[in-house]
Amino acid sequence: MLYGVMDALRPDEPRVSAAGTRALLVRLEHERAAAARARDAQLTAELSADVAACRDAFVGLAVTEIVSLRAQLSGPQLG
């Protein structure tokens, strides 16, 4: 995982990676599918909201990691 300025500012906070978030997303999708098979509409709806939030977090983390790696490899892009 790449470490940046935010790690220095908040050393006590757990580090979350795109890979870890993706694993959580897959787990939530499996739980949602199980709830749907059990015909538990309320749990399915709650898990759908969790899946959507987790997917948004995953995309943001993945993009951040890609940009950070690019900056480390070729220097920050200015302009």
**Cα-Cα end-to-end distance for the chain:** 27
The reported pTM is 0.76
Per-residue confidence band for 55, with pLDDT thresholds at 50, 70 and 90:
very high
Tell me what the mean pLDDT of segment 32-56 comes to.
97
- Tell me the pLDDT of the chain averaged across its residues: 86
- The pLDDT score that the predictor gives to residue 62 is 95
| 3-class secondary-structure state, position 10 | coil
